[in-house]
Amino acid sequence: MSEAESRDWAPGLRPLLEPETIRRRVVELGRQITEDFRGRELTALVVLKGSFVFAADLLRQIDLPLAVEFIGLRSYGSRTSTSGVVEITLDAKYPLVDKHVLIVEDIVDTGLTLSFLRENLATRLPASIRLAALLHKPARTVKPVPVDYLGFTIADEFVVGYGLDHDGRHRNLPGIALLDDPAQLRLFETENDSRGRVDQWK
């Protein structure tokens, strides 16, 4: 029996990517980014909220002079599919003119959000724009966006963990799980609130 199969999972969750699998890939991405930008200073633009765990791990693997900025984009709300409407809820604090910008995103699915962001950033006259994404769902592509540094390609299924959430929950899972039934999961969590946090990854 594999490690994933031996774990106890709450109803509605199935393991997809183990923590060690993610860790190894993040190390590889950090090395690649370091080599590609050797001799240059990099500005990481972290897209909140879902990418904060990925960004924290990735940026510590980049051996370069590094500045970090944050940007908030609203497109998902609490639903399991994007509305296609994007707005900036938190913007970078400092100008990006002549900066080598690395967007750090959790997941690319339709491409609408990232397309909006790249077009917006281009008006700020950076020296370059690259994209690092933990996950990509090509089956959902509406507007193709080039991903320069990709962690994993996945099928069109809703996932949680490692920063990704469903209705604000499960961001703290150290791995990534498939969310099979949002209604069933919400009911399970409501019933277990009085007993404290349910540990999905043991």
Catalytic residues: 109
* 194 backbone φψ class: left, alpha, beta (φ>0; ψ -120 to 50): alpha
Could you identify the residue written with the tokens 């031996």? 6
Torsion of CA 46, 52, 54, 59, to 10 degrees: 60
Under 8 Å between Cβ of 163 and 171: yes
